[in-house]
Amino acid sequence: MHDKATGLGGYDIEMGREAAEMIAQAADGDCRRALNYLETAAILIVEQESDIPLAITRKTILEVVQGQTLRYDRAGEEHYNLISALHKSLRDSDPDGACYWLGRMLVSGEDPLYIARRLIRFASEDVGVSDPRALDVAISCRRAYDMLGSPEGELALYQATVYLATAPKSNALYLTEKKIKEEIRRSGALPVPLHIRNAPTGLMEKIGYGKGYQYAHDAEDGLVAQEHLPDKLAGKRYYRPTERGFEAVIHDA
């Protein structure tokens, strides 16, 4: 409260015992939450009050805690609460909830490009190949906002949000990435099988590079039964498609 270098000392703000106790009670032992309440209350009264000294009262804290003010610190708790609510609404295929939390973030002053990046990530992590167009829609949303800016470009965020919320869901790609990283950490840099190695020189051909490789386009159905994993990992499966959306086609192939 009195630190002019890194705190609120430069604003000449006072706070009574009752308001301080209310912050402590609302924060329930969470220091970060308590600090966020205090800073949000300070911003609120600086913008709304003209009397000096400014005073944080019980009413101010009540307004902050009950969420009657939409202002929040982009690095604070409410930032993470709102993006979590948006993400979970999308994952649960609830377009109404997703659009509401998107609107809350935009009205609160969140960077629209941050939201666009989260939508792009969601398209890969929670939709993936179950709807291959989802990533295109999310990236197009980012580009549309770049071209239009606010407020016109915000409609593109809503469009992508509704599309992602109503798309079939799959985390198969996310799980595949996780399994592959774990496998590489565990097994190290295993050698490339000889039959799928590049053989640009005659010497490499003589020592077996590319020997036995089956060219898929020569097969009647374009499919060949040859192993592409390192010998020690032969037969392992990492990508397991769901039976939803386009992944159902892959699953049944």
**Against a cut of 0.85, is the pTM above it?**
no
Domain count, the chain: 3
Mean pLDDT, the chain, whole residue set:
87
5 in any annotated domain: no
Q: Which residues of 204-240 are buried (b: 16+ CB within 10 A; e: fewer)?
A: eeeeebeeeeeeeeeeeeeeeeeeebbeeeeeeeeee
Residue 8 in any domain: the answer is: no
pLDDT band at 74 (very low <50, low <70, confident <90, very high): low
Could you tell me the CATH number of the domain that includes residue 85? 1.20.272.10
pLDDT value for 39 = 81
Residue of higher predicted confidence among 59 and 129: 129
Range of the domain at 246: 172-252
- Cβ count near 241 (within 10 Å): 21
Alpha carbon distances (Å) from 239 to 121, 134, 175, 249:
19, 19, 8, 14
The encoded tokens of residue 228 equal: 């592409």
Domain membership of residue 226 (yes or no) is: yes
